[in-house]
Every structure is written in C-alpha cells, then in structure tokens.
Chain A
Amino acid sequence: MSTLTRPDVQRRSNADRLRQWLASGKFTAVLILLPPALILFSLFVILPLADAVYYSGFSWNGYGAPTDFVGTQNYERLLDHSVFHTALGNTAKLILVSLIIQMPLALGLALMVYRKTPTNTLFRLVFFLPYILAEVAAGLIWSFVFDGDYGITAMMFQSLGQESVYVLADRQWAFPAIMTVIVWKYFGFHMMIYIAALQSVPKDLIEAAKLEGAKPRQVALFVQVPLIKHAIVVSGFFAIIGSLQIFDIIIPLTNGGPSNSTHTIVTYLYTFGLSRLNIGFGSAAAVVLFVLAIGIAMFYQRATKQGERT
C-alpha cells in the first residue's frame, strides 16, 4: 500500500467512527450527563484555582480589584521566607510521623482489637474517641494539658521536684508536642480502616497458617498484613494528604508560635496571607500547596501501583 493513501483511509474511518458514535446515542448521554459534574467541578475547583493563580501575580490587600501586577515576586518572596522553610519542614515532619509512628501504631492496635467481642468494641470506641472530637476542641484540651502552670505535664514535672516546662512556649518542644497531639488525634481513624480490612480477611487462610505452625506474630506479618495491603495504601494516602492540610489543631495550641516555629503550610498561608491581608502572597502559597499536594498524590499512586505489579 502506498504511503499516500494511508492517512486518507484513516481519516475516513475516523470520520465514520465519529458519525457512528454520534448516532449511537452515547453522545447524547455525554451531553446530558457530563454538564452537571463538569459545571460544578469548574465552578468550585477549577475557577477558584485559576483565581488563586491569577491573584498570586499581584500585590493585593483584598480591597478593590487587584491592579499592582508584580509577576513572580510573591513566589520569590515565599521561597526566600525562612518561616516558609520552617513550615515546609514541619509539614514534612508531620508526614513522616504519620507514616512511621501513627500508621504502625494504628495497625498494631487494629490487630489486637479487630475480632468482634464486647471488650474489643469498648476498646475500639475508646481508641476512636479522639477522632470524633472536633479539632479545635482537641487543640484546646491539649493546650490545657501542656499548660506550664496548671497542666498535667506541669504537675508531672513538679511531682518529680523539677521546675515545670512550658512545652508550647519552647521553640524546641512546641512542635513535637503538636505531633504528639496529631498522632493521638488521628490514629483511631487509621485503626478503623485496618479493622474493616482485617475483618474481611478470610478466616480459613489464618487457620491454614496456624495449622502450618505459624505463631500469631507470623500470621499477622505474613497473612493478614499482605492481605490488607490495599487498606494500608489508602490509609497512607489519607495520612499524607491529611498532614498537608493540618490547620485547626495548631491554631488553638500555639497559633504558629513561638516565633513562628510551628507553622504548617496551611497555617502559614492563613497567617501570612489571609490575616495579614496579603491576598496575593497568600494565593502564591496556596498555589504552591496545591502543586505539592498534587505532586505527592501522583507520586504516591505511581509508587504504590508499581509495588502492586511486582
């Protein structure tokens, strides 16, 4: 066949296919079913995002329409700002703590209480309670716990004859304290995901392993955990995205202080963008946060998918 005719044939067949598709009724279905979702998605996701990108090019205090175009200056200032670096570092720490401490803790507890017995139900409820609590309430409760004058930590130090420590006022200890609260607050959520998955693991497989002489630890490690891998992947995804979004626990605990040492990206965006009325600058931070979240999500999915194939 000559090279000249091939595209011609292809074009005709494409046109045919299009005509066929239009006539098949699938097109009408798309025409009817797509707009609601598409309009909602554009209105509430794409548009605000485009707005943020647009505003991030301006030095704008939120009054009137933005007019003072500054190009990439907001991004340059953002990347230069030492508090932003701290916020990025803190967010990375949160992700690590969620993955390395929170998830194994949740998994361990899930393995202990996943069987349906009355005592397990009680324990499950107790472990899940922190997650039910509103974030702001949890933050406030813990700010009393860490209080250097009347808090539980203060009482502990005092009973040991030590001078009490003001955990949340200490630049070194404030963020570890926040991480503790976050692990405490969210491990129950991950535990519930694991429990649901563990309950669906076929019992005969576990019994078979036991008959082969596997100890409980081996059953967990070689039968149960591999079988709930999909749940672990999902909970890991939630942990990462959740860490990127931590905000309402930090505000009542430290409000980003002392000396802006406990900001996450979101509290940074709120403090330096919104409450200081630097809307352009805040938009730049929001765009960076969005790109980070998308980037990490895509990387995570790809990494876990590859793991599945091998």
Chain B
Amino acid sequence: MKHYISHAYTPACKRGLTAAVAIAAALSSSIAAADTTVSVLRVEISDVEKQYYDDIVAEYESQHPDVTVEFEYIANEAYKTRLPTLLQSSQRPDIFYSWGGEGLRDQVEAGFVRDLTEAMQDGWQDIYPESAVRAFTLDERVYGAPLYATVVGFWANTALTEQAGVDIEAIDTWEELEQAVIALRENGITPAVVGGQDGWPLHFYWGYLVTRLAGGEGIEAAKQGENGGFEGEPFVRAGELLQSFVELDPFQSGFMATSYERASGMFGDGEAALHLMGDWDYIPSKERSMSGEGVPDEDLEFIRFPRVEGGAGNDDSFGGMNGFAVTRDASDEAVDFLRFLLNEENQREAARLGIFVPVAEGSEAELTTPYARKVAEILNASNFHQVFLDQALGTSVGATVNDISGDLAQDAITPEEAAAQVEEAWMFR
C-alpha cells in the first residue's frame, strides 16, 4: 500500500514561508495543488478496460499537469471485505468503485462518503438518465456517479434451441420459457447452465422473479416493511415459481458444484441452450470456452427476461448500476477527475471499445455489438432498473438472498421459509 500525501509542501515553498509569510500563503495554495494525487480504487478488470482508464488518465494529466491519478485494482471478493477497513484507514482512496444500494448507505451513514449533490447539479448529472443517478441517491442526496449499467437476461444458443424446435426470440412469458425448457429436455439438450456454487447466479432467478412480481416499487415498499415486508405475497410467489421451474429439471447435473466461471465456459462450449447471466458475459464466455471462440455470434442471442402474469414489474429491468463514489476528505481535484472520467466523450469511447454499456444518454449509438444495443434498448424501455438484490439489500441480506435461492433450487426449503429468512435478515441487518 502506498501512502499518498495529497498536499505536500516543496522545500522551495518552505523557504518562501520563512522569507515572507504573506507571499508564502499565496504561494502555498498554488504549490499545494502542484502535488495533488488522486487515487482510485477499482475492482479488478480486463486489460482492455485498464487500458481505457490509462488513456483517460494520460489525457487528464496532460490537461492538468499538477494532478497525478493512480488506479489500483483489487479482486472482487477481496474488494468487498477490504473496503470497510481501507475506508477507515489513512490510506483510503479518493475515489472508489461502488454498486450503490445499501452498501453505499452503510458507508454514507458512517460518514466516509463525500456528498456530490451540489457538484452534480451543475449540469453533470444531466448527461445520465434519472434511473442511473437514482442508484446513487440516498435521501435526496447524491453520493456517487454512474459508470455503466448491466442487465441480466438469457444468453441463448439458437443452434440448440432450433434443434428442439423452440423459437427463442418469441418467448415472452414465464410459461413460454417453461415450455421451452420442457421441449429442450425432451430433445436431450440441457436447457440451462447455472453457476450454483457461487450463489449469486441462482439469485438472478429469484431476484428477477421478485422484480417481475413486486416491481421496483414493491421491493422498496418491502424494505419499509409494507405489505408484509419480504414475507409478502410476491416474494413467496417468486419462490414458488422458481421451485416449479426447477422441477422441470432445467439445469445441468451437479449445478450446485458449478462455479459461475465454469458455467460461463460450459455455455460457450455449447453444453446448454440458455444461461441467465449479465450482459458482461459476452466476451468471458468466449474466453472460457475450450475453443476460445464460444458460441458463434450468428447462433447467439440475448433475450429479455420473460414477463410473469400479473406482475407489477413487467416493465422493469434487473441488473447492476456501477459507478464511483468519492471519499469524504478527498480533494476537489478528485471530484473534478471523476467528472472527467465519466464525461460524455469517455462514455462514448467505452461504448466504441465495447468494454461495457455506458449510461450517458446517447452513448448507446456508439455500441458495436447487437447484444450491447439490445441491453441499451432494454434499459431505455425500462420503467425501473432494479439493482441486483444481493447488492441493493446490503452485504448481509444479499448473502441470505443468495443462500435461499440455492436452497429453493435444491428444494431444501419452502418458498415461505425462504421469504421468512430474507425478512429476518432484513430485520437484523
């Protein structure tokens, strides 16, 4: 760990101080800025994306010779557990990666996050859709800025679905999906892969069903304890739907011992027709396949999660909203750099490079793959973008959601017990 001194005085300045206090006072403020370092902490990413940040940093530094920006990367799980300690230490970063939601709330309530409301009102937040800013808004105050959105949907291998006579693009409702699963099984094709060992891939099923049934507003209401909280009807119903889905034997054998990475590779190898996963899995699935090519693009489709009859959230979407927050004592330069990092031009560049689906309005025009455009389409049509429940509800409740999703998929608990466990975790969070 490096220790950053953000406002260091140079020896020259020190001499100035002893010579003439008045001049030095004026000098020091300009020289102080000369050594500003902005440190950014981000979850480990691909080399392409790192290069993207390096280019942005180089450009920013050439425009602001007095500022140095340093990126540091930590692997996903380690990032989550180390962040609380880091934020409380003197080595806290100026800017850190955030998923918004209750995790951000914990950090805000402990007083570690800088309020960006005023800074963002000055035209900054206008480049993003409202739903993106909302993910970082707590009690009407904005504590972060969005970088990109992800959407969960079914990756489909049409070579396999056609073999079973399933028109995958026509699937609109949950019942139709179930019919497709039955047809695939009858034709000896594994309908879907899922990385059950990791928990969160299975939570996509329960979480998306909950989003469909309760809607984003229903989930907010449950957080407030309304309509029976998380033991309310839509949450139990989601469990019932998941269990009757699992009865159709939709997953590969031993799915509870499969990790996400493995499942992603299995889909790339054409071992199953469907994979409920985030849009980010496009490249990884190819890289993890045996051939390194994955499912060829002409056989690959990204399908919107089907509607559920009577659901309140059939127009909502489910996925991630990822961005950055600024720590309390960070310099103004840090805020300025963040604004630069997330500006429209850089967002468009990310779209051109196909690294992620940026949130800035209009940037989707630059997207190169049909899948990314589909994601942008889903996001634009979305009434409410529900952030992953295992992140939106905070670390502890989120982990419980992952647990009960696995338990439901193995028929180890009833839908009522599952809902009760989530409610209990929410009460004790």
Question: Which A positions have Cβ atoms within 8 angstroms of B?
Answer: 59, 61-64, 77, 146-149, 163-164, 166-169, 171, 254-255, 257-260, 271, 274-278
Question: In the complex, what residues of A have CB within 8 A of residue B111's CB?
Answer: 64
Is B370 at the interface (CB under 8 A from chain A)?
Answer: no
Within 386-422 of B, Cβ neighbours of A (below 8 Å) are at: 395-396, 399, 403, 406-407, 410, 412
Q: Are A63 and B255 in contact (CB under 8 A)?
A: no
- In the assembled complex, the Cα of A69 lies from the Cα of B68 at a distance in Å of 43
Q: Are B88 and A259 in contact (CB under 8 A)?
A: no
Query: Chain A nearest CB: distance from B355 CB in Å?
Result: 28
A278 CB contact (under 8 Å) in B396, B403, B406: B396
Question: In the complex, what residues of B have CB within 8 A of residue A169's CB?
Answer: 196-197, 254-258
Q: Are A257 and B406 in contact (CB under 8 A)?
A: yes
Is B71 at the interface (CB under 8 A from chain A)?
Answer: no
Q: Are B410 and A258 in contact (CB under 8 A)?
A: yes
- In the assembled complex, the Cα of A259 lies from the Cα of B87 at a distance in Å of 32
Q: Are B399 and A276 in contact (CB under 8 A)?
A: yes
Query: Chain A nearest CB: distance from B20 CB in Å?
Result: 43
Query: Chain B nearest CB: distance from A79 CB in Å?
Result: 14
Q: Are A63 and B87 in contact (CB under 8 A)?
A: yes
Q: Are B410 and A276 in contact (CB under 8 A)?
A: no
- In the assembled complex, the Cα of A62 lies from the Cα of B84 at a distance in Å of 7
User: Which residue of B81, B85, B199, B256 has the most chain A CB atoms within 10 A of its CB atom?
Assistant: B256
| 5 shortest interchain CB distances as A-B pairs | A166-B254, A63-B110, A169-B257, A169-B256, A148-B254
Contact A166 to B256, CB < 8 A, known contacts A63-B88, A63-B109, A277-B84: yes
Question: In the complex, what residues of A have CB within 8 A of residue B406's CB?
Answer: 257-259
Interface SS, B side: helix
Q: Are B106 and A63 in contact (CB under 8 A)?
A: yes
List 9 interface pairs A-B (beta carbons < 8 Å), by A numbering: A63-B88, A63-B112, A77-B428, A169-B256, A257-B256, A275-B80, A275-B81, A276-B399, A278-B396
Question: In the complex, what residues of B have CB within 8 A of residue A77's CB?
Answer: 428
Closest to B397 in A: A276
User: Which residue of B77, B88, B196, B197 has the most chain A CB atoms within 10 A of its CB atom?
Assistant: B197
Question: In the complex, what residues of B have CB within 8 A of residue A147's CB?
Answer: 257
Question: In the complex, what residues of A have CB within 8 A of residue B199's CB?
Answer: 257
Question: In the complex, what residues of A have CB within 8 A of residue B343's CB?
Answer: none
Closest to A65 in B: B110
Query: Chain A nearest CB: distance from B33 CB in Å?
Result: 31
Contact A259 to B412, CB < 8 A, known contacts A64-B110, A276-B395: yes
Q: Are B84 and A61 in contact (CB under 8 A)?
A: yes
Q: Are B81 and A149 in contact (CB under 8 A)?
A: no
- In the assembled complex, the Cα of A61 lies from the Cα of B403 at a distance in Å of 20
Query: Chain A nearest CB: distance from B406 CB in Å?
Result: 5
Q: Are A277 and B396 in contact (CB under 8 A)?
A: yes
What 1/0 flags go to B109-131 for Cβ under 8 Å of A? 11110000000000000000000
Q: Are B253 and A148 in contact (CB under 8 A)?
A: yes
Q: A63-B110, A258-B410 given. 15 additional CB < 8 A pairs?
A: A59-B428, A61-B84, A61-B106, A63-B87, A64-B88, A163-B253, A254-B197, A257-B197, A257-B256, A257-B406, A258-B256, A259-B256, A259-B412, A275-B81, A276-B395
Closest to B81 in A: A275
Contact A274 to B81, CB < 8 A, known contacts A149-B254, A171-B412, A255-B197: yes
Is B107 at the interface (CB under 8 A from chain A)?
Answer: yes
- In the assembled complex, the Cα of A167 lies from the Cα of B111 at a distance in Å of 46
Q: Are A171 and B410 in contact (CB under 8 A)?
A: yes
B410 CB contact (under 8 Å) in A164, A254, A255, A259: A259
Query: Chain B nearest CB: distance from A20 CB in Å?
Result: 53
Question: In the complex, what residues of A have CB within 8 A of residue B197's CB?
Answer: 169, 254-255, 257-258
- In the assembled complex, the Cα of A168 lies from the Cα of B409 at a distance in Å of 16
Question: In the complex, what residues of A have CB within 8 A of residue B112's CB?
Answer: 63
Query: Chain B nearest CB: distance from A263 CB in Å?
Result: 11
Q: Are A277 and B395 in contact (CB under 8 A)?
A: yes
Query: Chain A nearest CB: distance from B70 CB in Å?
Result: 25
Q: Are A275 and B110 in contact (CB under 8 A)?
A: no
Closest to A270 in B: B81
Query: Chain B nearest CB: distance from A183 CB in Å?
Result: 21
What 1/0 flags go to B93-112 for Cβ under 8 Å of A? 00000000000001101111
Question: In the complex, what residues of A have CB within 8 A of residue B77's CB?
Answer: 275
Within 160-212 of B, Cβ neighbours of A (below 8 Å) are at: 196-197, 199
- In the assembled complex, the Cα of A110 lies from the Cα of B255 at a distance in Å of 41
Query: Chain B nearest CB: distance from A3 CB in Å?
Result: 61
Question: In the complex, what residues of A have CB within 8 A of residue B412's CB?
Answer: 171, 259
- In the assembled complex, the Cα of A167 lies from the Cα of B257 at a distance in Å of 8
Contact A168 to B257, CB < 8 A, known contacts A259-B406, A275-B80: yes
Question: In the complex, what residues of B have CB within 8 A of residue A278's CB?
Answer: 396
Query: Chain B nearest CB: distance from A246 CB in Å?
Result: 19
Question: In the complex, what residues of A have CB within 8 A of residue B109's CB?
Answer: 63
Closest to B413 in A: A259
Question: In the complex, what residues of B have CB within 8 A of residue A59's CB?
Answer: 428
Query: Chain A nearest CB: distance from B388 CB in Å?
Result: 16
